[in-house]
Amino acid sequence: MLKYELVVIGGGPAGLSAAVEAYEQGVRKILILERDKELGGILNQCIHNGFGLHRFKEELTGPEYSLRYIDLVKDTTIETLTDTMVLEISEQKVVRAISAERGYMEIEAKAVVFSMGCRERTRGAIQLQGDRPAGVFTAGTAQRFINMEGYMPGKRVVILGSGDIGLIMARRMTFEGAKVEAVCELMPYSNGLTRNIVQCLDDYDIPLMLSHTIVKVHGKARVEGVTIAKVDENFKPIPESFKRIDCDTVLLSVGLIPENEITQNAGIAVDTRTSGPKVGELRQTEMEGVFACGNVVHVHDLVDFVSEEGALSGKGVAKYLKGELETTPNFSTANSDGIGYVVPQTVNLSNVDDQVTFYMRVRSVYDKHIVRAYQGDTLIAEKKERKFLPAEMVNFKIKKEILANLADGEIRFVVEEV
């Protein structure tokens, strides 16, 4: 049987960063398993720029960003297997995988990092009604066709959902000669970054229709149009507002879901708030020696934070392999008013160097608000922003010395009016 100190499942930005950090911390026998034919993950099809401002202090395209990490891996003894699909991992951390080249493999791992990323929500998941013709794609599938395979999936497009991929694809399809008729967003605010609305929609006069949805898809063989409608405050379509738009393509950008099949098969419970495994400060899961990072834990908005989280898990792996990872947590985190989730879900202070970054998302748009951390009724720390948006992950850093003064127990995060 193949034996490794660390097996990383998924060779996208999270997994690459985890492997590189573990290597830098002294772990030597590392294997990255990637199901696609090359490393880099979904970044390879994200050919637009804007990646890496935090991590590399420059603006890179997706492929350039992933290449930075791939090059780092190449400078090490980290091994990689592409075109390799992990089927499952056992309780003893035996990773079972297959590839055309190597057949069926059983790989014994002392530690495992889950970095499988996420997938897009589909037509079925949002229960989009109407005919079922060809021409309804998730934005990511369209992105792959255009940016990797060199094909156009349509000429006249309506996009449902204003997540960043949807916005980016609006511009991308416009560049390639398609006409984007509209972007419909169910919520009264966009789920994408403001700059993407400006440079992807406004630049090309593509209307962003907030509080709008597609109520029906038309077309027997291929999409011929959609009926869109304005929705009321309960997201119910308002009949008087029904309007038909002719188009041959519908792109869906309606959210991402962490891909945790392997996690769940391993018996690791998935947190219903994040749809990812519960993790500690170094991204340890409830299964000893198994870590998780990136979009498999919770959906990030910037890859820079994915890399950051990957590095945390790499540190965790190194500590664990040295037998220095403390396991009993001091704190658990909770989300209340206005906060959708908090990661990490637990914190063991003795594993922390100087601060803990709590990642969280707010549930709606908050102007003139502040996010506060409490233990019981005691205010521990607060985080100010000009504006809190569900589209933008909140990074709430709390110094170790502050946490060290607290009793063990729960830390609760809330949005409060200023």
Partner 1 sequence: MAKEMTCIVCPIGCQLTLEPEGESFAVFGNKCPRGKKYAIEEMIAPKRVITSTVAVDQGMYPVISVKTQAPVPKELIFDVMQDLSSVLMKAPIQVGDVVIKNVQGTGVDVVATRNA
Partner 2 sequence: MLDVCIVGGGVIGTAISRELSRYQLKVRVVERNEDVATETTKANSGIVHGGYDAAHGKLKGFFSAKGNAMYPQLEEELHFGFRQTGSFVVAFNEGQEPELDRLLENGIKNGARGLEIISGDRAREMEPHLSKSVTKALYCSTAGVTSPYELSVALAENAAKNGVEYSFYTEVNGIEKVEDHFILHTSKGPVEAKVVINAAGLYADRISAMIGEDDFTINPRQGQYVLLDKDQAFMTDTVIFQAPENGSKGVLVTPTVHHNILVGPNSDYIDEKNDVATTSDVIAKILKAGSKSIDAINTRKVIRSFSGNRASSDRGDFIIGETKVKGFVNVAGIESPGLTSAPAIAIHVADILKEMGLELTADPNFDPTRKPYKRIADMEAEELNNLIAEEPAYGRVICRCESISEGEIVDAIHRGLPITSVDAIKKRTRAGMGRCQGGFCAPRVMEIISRETGLSMEEITKQGEGSYLLTKRSKDALEKGGQDA
Question: Going along 247-321, which residue ranges are E strands?
Answer: 249-252, 256-258, 290-292
Question: Could you give the CA distance from residue 13 to residue 171 in angstroms, rounded to a whole number?
Answer: 24
The most distant pair of C-alpha atoms in the chain lies apart, rounded to whole Å, by 66
Residue 39 and residue 11 in contact, taking contact as beta carbons nearer than 8 Å: yes
Give, as ranges, the residues between 22 and 61 that touch partner 2 (CB under 8 A): 35
> Is 383 a residue that touches partner 2 (CB under 8 A)?
no
First to last CA, the chain: 59
> Is 367 a residue that touches partner 1 (CB under 8 A)?
no
Of the candidates 170, 181, 250, the one whose C-alpha atom is nearest the C-alpha of residue 218 is 250
Binding partner selected for residue 203 from partner 2, partner 1, none, CB under the kind-specific 5 to 8 Å limit: partner 1
Of the candidates 268, 260, 391, 406, the one whose C-alpha atom is nearest the C-alpha of residue 333 is 406
Q: Choose, by CB under 8 A, the member of 63, 133, 340, 390 that binds partner 2.
A: 133
Site string for partner 2, 303-332 (x = CB under 8 A): ------------------------------
> Is 354 a residue that touches partner 1 (CB under 8 A)?
no
Chain length of the chain: 418
Binding partner selected for residue 153 from partner 1, partner 2, none, CB under the kind-specific 5 to 8 Å limit: partner 2
Site string for partner 1, 167-206 (x = CB under 8 A): --------xxx---------------xxx-xxx---x---
State the number of binding residues for partner 1 (CB under 8 A). Answer: 31
Which lies closer to partner 1 via its Cβ, residue 67 or residue 270?
67
> Is 283 a residue that touches partner 1 (CB under 8 A)?
no
Phi, psi of 71 (to 5 degrees): -65, -40
Question: Could you give the CA distance from residue 91 to residue 108 in angstroms, rounded to a whole number?
Answer: 11
Q: State the sign of the Cα–Cα–Cα–Cα dihedral 398, 404, 410, 414.
A: negative
Give, as ranges, the residues between 246 and 285 that touch partner 2 (CB under 8 A): 248, 261, 264
Sites of contact with partner 1 (CB under 8 A): 37-38, 44, 47-50, 53, 59, 61-64, 67, 146-150, 175-177, 193-195, 197-199, 203, 301-302
